[in-house]
Structure 1
Amino acid sequence: MGNVILGKTYTGTFPNNKQQRNYGDKEKYLLENAHEPIIEHEKFEKVQEEIIHRSNVEIVDGKIKRKRTHYSSKKRT
């Protein structure tokens, strides 16, 4: 879509100079239209909706719940 998120990782202070993932410890920045998009925004949103539609997981009252517990792709007879 042409967007980029900055601040996904950060480097700690001395003596722990290791690069760490940012799980909300530091601020993140979203730059929109930072480069030429690979996919249009509308198409991206449609794909995200389809991924949610096909997912076996749904969130109910803040808890993760499976829609189905049968994992085989074969139909039961």
Structure 2
Amino acid sequence: RVKDCLNGDELLDNYDIAKLLNVSLRTVARYREKGLIRYYQTDDNGKNFYRSSEIQEFLQKRGKKDKGGNTNMGKLC
């Protein structure tokens, strides 16, 4: 689910991140709380968004691969 693009970078929400990392929503919240992943909140409803490039860096630091077996997710925008 592509939400939007910020400077050519895809924005992902909590559900996208949980699915991509194959973790629960609570684990995504823990990553945020520990400062492991950077996030942005909208003023309108306080919803969290993540830049795909920053999640890509997180995956590379963790040495994890996406569902296609690649560390690099690429940009969709």
Provide the TM-score with structure 1 as the length reference. Answer: 0.25
Whichever of the two has the greater Rg, that structure is 1
* Higher share of residues assigned helix: 2
More strand by share: 1
- TM-score normalised by length of structure 2: 0.25
